[in-house]
């Protein structure tokens, strides 16, 4: 009998322990309640790194009003030092509102969605066009809060961000409602090249046609004797790194979408794919580089294994700090198919902040967003080379001599933000994967394009039928100035 009672007690104790282990973090970070401090610890315990925590605590001054804690999540690791410093500075100078700043780089979208569904979402998150977060989905589901009223009342914010000049339908705004304002911009892709390898092959600059680049890489490879090669790629989005930019500048359909007809048509891409396939048929590609992660390929470029690499302005920091090169590296504008620029190169608005609808103290959350978009904050951010300014106001405020190699990635006249293409769910491989298979010689360009046209237009038709997307038509679409057209959204 005693053993039985003992076993029951043991079972109950184990059950209680299990329950205790899984206890939810009930401390609400944004209410300013007495357990706010423990809530911050709880966030760090989830495996993310809390890089800055509020300095105020309930025990310091029982008589003073409790500070409101605004929980901010970021998916940027590269600016950690600056962000931590500025968050600490804010927390030290404010007693009413405090920032709890957490960096979470892995599985970003899923983390936000799960936290929102579980009621543990932050109040403010960083957002960039490159995050791939489809604004319409987040707005439809009620996750994002419109910032329009706050922006309308904050003239300093308007002046610094020039937000009304940088409203991109489906990207940071829907109809007249603004959900985030981009502070920075990532340039379109460029070619980064090893000047020594290129000059040995008799070139002083990168040719202005893709065919010329193919020839250059062939010659570098021929002189490399199996040790150095002409060009290198990566397994992580190899097509989008720079070849897609060549197509855009050649006037091809952006992401295969024909804005004038509101349909998908990848036909124009065939010549580019066939030309790029020559990299492989000529043997100019660093063997196996397309199976390497992006950092591995960067490291191989930095050690001089191949001459031509392509990526956007983030490489300024990569090849000066992360993987410093042992040789002089140059930055060149992308080639086109004809040598003439016939379309805009896509640029990516970044470093914005959005408010989640679950934020309990929205005024405090806006105060933090406003702080992150203040001149005081952004000047140091851009001069630190963490991003380039989007607004002409901030571009005029920063000392460009301090930005280092980022100066080589200055935004060009032909760079613009494309309106978001319809948010379709494609069955089977998406076009970057299919295009890469063409370049690798696995399928023909003709078959691939016919298949893509069918699948993407079917997906669009399905999306229109079930209401998950709209057809965007821009009758006055100008490939060189895609953001200036008049957008019409059709439900069929």
Partner 1 sequence: MKENLNKALEKPGISVWQKVKKANNRGDFASVFMLAPAVILLIVVSVYPFIWVFRYVCYEYNGITSYFTGTHNLVRAFHDLTFWKSVVHTFEYAGLKIVFIIPFALLMAVFMKQKITGSELFRGIYFMPTIISAAISSMVFAFIFASYNGILNAVLRFAGLIDKNVNWLGDTKTAMWVVLIVAIWGGFGNYMIYFMSGLSSISDDVYESARIDGANGIQTFFRITLPLLSPMLKVILMLAITGAFKDYEAIMVLTQGGPNNRTQVMFLYIYQLIFGSQTGSSPQIGYATVLSLIASLIVGLVTAIYLFVSRKLDNVV
**Contact of 120 with 91, CB cutoff 8 Å:** no
Q: Could you tell me which of 300, 271, 305, 283 has the C-alpha nearest to residue 218?
A: 283
Measured from the CB atom, is 226 or 396 closer to partner 1?
226
To the nearest 10 degrees (0 to 180), the angle between helices 80-93 and 375-383 is 160
Q: Write out the two tokens for 38.
A: 């423990």
List 38, 429, 457, 487, residue binding partner 1 (CB under 8 A): 429
List 134, 379, 397, 481, residue binding partner 1 (CB under 8 A): 134
CA 172 to CA 152: how far, in whole Å?
16
CA 439 to CA 445: how far, in whole Å?
8
Q: How many residues bind partner 1 (CB under 8 A)?
A: 50
Residues 283-302 interacting with partner 1 (rule: CB under 8 A): 286-292, 300
**Contact of 289 with 232, CB cutoff 8 Å:** yes
Q: Could you tell me which of 59, 64, 61, 55 has the C-alpha nearest to residue 87?
A: 55
List 152, 428, 450, 475, residue binding partner 1 (CB under 8 A): 428
CA 230 to CA 216: how far, in whole Å?
7
List 12, 34, 92, 222, residue binding partner 1 (CB under 8 A): 12
Asked if 437 touches partner 1 (CB under 8 A), the answer is: yes
Query: Whats the size of the chain, residue-wise?
Result: 492
Measured from the CB atom, is 407 or 464 closer to partner 1?
464
- x/- track of binding to partner 1 for residues 315-354 (CB under 8 A): ----------------------------------------
Asked if 4 touches partner 1 (CB under 8 A), the answer is: yes
Beta bridge partners of 100: 71
* DSSP conformation class of 322: I
CA distances from 80 to 102, 223, 370, 384 (A): 10, 42, 19, 12
Residues contacting residue 408 through CB under 8 Å, at least 6 positions apart: 190, 316, 331
Asked if 8 touches partner 1 (CB under 8 A), the answer is: yes
Asked if 236 touches partner 1 (CB under 8 A), the answer is: yes
**Contact of 151 with 157, CB cutoff 8 Å:** yes
Residues contacting residue 124 through CB under 8 Å, at least 6 positions apart: 70, 71, 72, 73, 353, 354, 355, 356, 359, 365, 368, 369
CB of 4 to partner 1, least distance (A): 5
Residues 96-125 interacting with partner 1 (rule: CB under 8 A): 107, 109-110, 113
CB of 105 to partner 1, least distance (A): 15
Asked if 261 touches partner 1 (CB under 8 A), the answer is: no
CB of 428 to partner 1, least distance (A): 6
Measured from the CB atom, is 363 or 427 closer to partner 1?
427
List 49, 105, 140, 281, residue binding partner 1 (CB under 8 A): 140
Asked if 305 touches partner 1 (CB under 8 A), the answer is: yes
Measured from the CB atom, is 69 or 112 closer to partner 1?
112
CB of 301 to partner 1, least distance (A): 12
Measured from the CB atom, is 242 or 414 closer to partner 1?
242
Which of these ranges, 173-181, 193-201, 236-244, 400-408, lies near partner 1 under the rule CB under 8 A?
Answer: 236-244
The 3-state DSSP class for residue 340 equals: coil
Sites of contact with partner 1 (CB under 8 A): 4, 7-8, 11-12, 14-15, 18, 107, 109-110, 113, 132, 134, 137-138, 140-141, 143, 226, 235-237, 240, 286-292, 300, 305, 423, 425-430, 432-433, 437, 440, 442-443, 462, 466-468
């Amino acid at each position: 009998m005693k053993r039985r009672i003992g076993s029951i007690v043991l079972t109950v104790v184990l059950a209680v322990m299990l329950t205790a282990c899984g206890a939810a973090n009930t401390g609400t970070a944004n209410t300013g309640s007495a357990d706010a401090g423990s809530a911050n610890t709880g966030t760090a315990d989830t495996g993310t790194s809390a890089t800055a925590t509020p300095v105020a605590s309930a025990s310091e001054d029982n008589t003073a009003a409790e500070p409101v804690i605004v929980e901010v999540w970021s998916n940027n690791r590269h600016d950690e030092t600056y962000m931590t410093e500025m968050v600490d500075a804010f927390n030290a100078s404010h007693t009413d509102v405090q920032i709890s700043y957490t960096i979470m780089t892995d599985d970003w979208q899923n983390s936000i969605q799960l936290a929102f569904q579980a009621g543990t979402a932050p109040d403010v998150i960083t957002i960039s066009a490159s995050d791939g977060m489809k604004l319409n989905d987040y707005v439809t589901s009620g996750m994002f809060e419109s910032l329009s009223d706050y922006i309308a009342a904050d003239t300093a914010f308007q002046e610094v961000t020039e937000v009304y000049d940088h409203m991109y339908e489906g990207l940071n705004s829907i109809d007249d409602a603004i959900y985030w304002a981009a502070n920075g911009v990532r340039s379109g892709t460029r070619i980064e090249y090893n000047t020594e390898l290129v000059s040995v092959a008799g070139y002083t600059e990168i040719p202005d046609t893709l065919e010329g680049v193919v020839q250059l890489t062939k010659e570098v490879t021929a002189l490399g004797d199996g040790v150095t090669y002409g060009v290198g790629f990566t397994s992580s989005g190899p097509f989008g790194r720079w070849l897609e930019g060549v197509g855009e500048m050649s006037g091809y359909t952006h992401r295969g979408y024909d804005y004038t007809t509101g349909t998908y048509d990848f036909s124009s891409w065939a010549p580019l794919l066939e030309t790029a396939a020559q990299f492989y048929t000529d043997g100019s590609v660093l063997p196996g580089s397309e199976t390497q992660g992006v950092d591995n390929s960067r490291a191989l470029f930095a050690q001089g294994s191949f001459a031509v690499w392509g990526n956007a302005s983030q490489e300024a920091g990569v090849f000066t700090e992360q993987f410093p090169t042992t040789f002089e590296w140059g930055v060149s504008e992308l080639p086109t198919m004809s040598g003439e620029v016939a379309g805009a190169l896509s640029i990516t608005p970044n470093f914005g902040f959005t408010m989640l609808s679950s934020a309990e103290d929205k005024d405090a959350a806006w105060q933090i967003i406003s702080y992150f978009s203040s001149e005081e904050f952004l000047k140091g951010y851009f001069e630190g080379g963490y991003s380039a300014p989007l607004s002409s106001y901030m571009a005029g405020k920063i000392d460009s001599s301090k930005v280092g190699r980022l100066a080589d990635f200055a935004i060009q006249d032909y760079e613009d933000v494309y309106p978001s293409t319809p948010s379709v769910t494609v069955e089977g491989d998406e076009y970057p994967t299919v295009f890469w298979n063409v370049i690798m010689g696995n399928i023909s360009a003709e078959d691939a394009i016919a298949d893509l046209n069918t699948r993407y237009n079917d997906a669009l038709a399905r999306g229109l039928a079930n209401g998950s997307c709209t057809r965007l038509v821009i009758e006055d679409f100008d490939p060189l100035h895609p953001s200036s057209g008049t957008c019409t959204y059709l439900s069929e």
